[in-house]
Amino acid sequence: AVSGSGFPFSSSSYELKAPQIGSFRLSERAVNFSRRRCSVRPVNAEPKRSDSVIPFAATIVAPEVVEKVEVEVEVEDYEQLAKELENASPLEIMDRALEQFGNDIAIAFSGAEDVALIEYAHLTGRPFRVFSLDTGRLNPETYQFFDAVEKHYGIRIEYMFPDAVEVQGLVRSKGLFSFYEDGHQECCRVRKVRPLRRALKGLRAWITGQRKDQSPGTRSEIPVVQVDPVFEGLDGGSGSLVKWNPVANVQGQDIWNFLRAMNVPVNSLHSQGYVSIGCEPCTRAVLPGQHEREGRWWWEDAKAKECGLHKGNIKDENGNGNGNGALHANGTTATVPDIFNTQNLVTLSRPGIENLARLENRKEPWIVVLYAPWCPFCQAMEESYVELADKLAGSGVKVGKFRADGEHKEYAQQELQLGSFPTILFFPKYNSRPIKYPTEKRDVDSLMAFVNALR
């Protein structure tokens, strides 16, 4: 069964005549083959084995000598193509991808706003294929959305499932929610990455809904087309798969304007505050002012918010703004500008935060943010935290900041309850143990309520 654009099969058959050796003749029934050609090949198609059905005795016939002809294949320069298409519309990029790869390319559909990709493909008028990873832990609303999309476009989505034995082993050994304790990577590897790997082995190119504004820490440099740095395609080996990102340069709001204008079906979870949608246990709605990726794996660092499907986005910690610096084009590391800058806010050094944490009788209470300047979630709360510092000036409550990434991260995790950036702590006047701010509402009124309840 094949899905994608729903185009019918065309079939033809041929008969391979068996050689005759003396009085011995192979059964014609054993050498009848049928060959079927289709306009859309399954996404998980693997190169079939060509095991011979001819008995060994038949191999004594002298083989036909075929002269080998070397064909020079022109290799596309995708870096140059990405530059040429940098200012192209998503529709133009989609049309170029479908034209170039035909049946050997498919759209990766997650059940979120990347339905825009299907709409763009539909608008080109070309045949297209869609596949999705069913992890077994999606929201009911996502499954309903899949069904609505199939009916709207008259297609069949090609679903890829995780290996049942692998899932069984993971759940039996570590439980249903081990990712809350030791990170989401292992579960994602079993339920998403390996099924994706199988899917891509049947393709020469794939189309994703990645955008630069989705995750500034890991997706800010996505080109519209690239040689996939992680996965292999049908031919195998490095460079055998091309990755297209038609909406890389499009803002999230513009995607939504497009979906509304085209009256495209959308996941009902979006109306409940969900923006980025994944598996049910690892996805939640975001609050006003929060970045969309804060709804994914919220218990982990901002730079870890990739499941592994696009791990080629993640570079060295000290090399692309995900760690302590940003990488220039010439390979040198530049310092990320600091944040939370105001005269009413104290910058704590490592000895300073250690002394503050050790004091049992402080002269005044403190509120301190543990942050990393490259973290988009820290950047998003900069205005409210600076306003908090200005409001608390002269009130008897000190407001501080401690940069807890890099060499200080391990200490902050072990001694200061750092789980993800930002972490906000209140150090009471007569208590040595700091109290962790328990919510992700980081507006100034919520922060003030927290301080007023404890000081």
Choosing from 188, 279, 307, 378, which is the catalytic residue? 378
What angle do the packed helices 115-124 and 252-261 form, to 10 degrees?
A: 60
Q: Considering only CA atoms, which of 308, 280, 306, 286 is closest in space to residue 134?
A: 280
The pLDDT tens digits for 79-136 are 999 999 999 999 999 999 999 999 999 999 988 888 999 999 999 999 999 999 999 9
DSSP assignment of 93-141 equals HHHHHHHHHGGGEEEE--SSTTHHHHHHHHHHTS---EEEE--S-B-HH
Q: Map residue 73 onto helix, strand or coil.
A: coil
The upper half-sphere exposure of residue 170, i.e. CA atoms within 13 Å in the direction of its Cβ, equals 19
pTM to 2 decimal places = 0.55
pLDDT tens digits for range 242-262? 999 999 999 988 999 999 999
Q: How far apart are CA 231 and CA 371, in angstroms?
A: 34
Q: How far apart are CA 416 and CA 395, in angstroms?
A: 25
Percent of the chain with pLDDT over 70: 73
Q: Are 3 and 128 in contact (CB under 8 A)?
A: no
The letter for the amino acid at 184 is H
Q: Could you tell me if 167 and 135 are in contact, meaning their C-beta atoms sit under 8 angstroms apart? A: no
Report CA-CA distances (Å) from 428 to 368, 398, 441, 452. Answer: 11, 11, 21, 11
pLDDT above 90: residue 168: yes
Contacts with 345 (C-beta within 8 Å, 6 or more apart), sequence order = 385, 386, 389, 399, 400, 401
Give how far the C-alpha of residue 211 lies from the chain's centroid of Cα atoms, to the nearest Å: 10
Residue 375: active-site member: yes
pLDDT tens digits, one per residue of 199-239: 999 999 999 999 987 755 545 678 999 999 889 999 988 88
Find out whether 98 and 109 touch, Cβ atoms under 8 Å: no
Is 307 one of the annotated active-site residues of the chain?
A: no
What would the pLDDT profile of 390-432 be if each residue is shown by its tens digit?
A: 999 999 999 999 999 999 999 999 999 998 889 999 999 887 7
Q: Find out whether 386 and 267 touch, Cβ atoms under 8 Å.
A: no
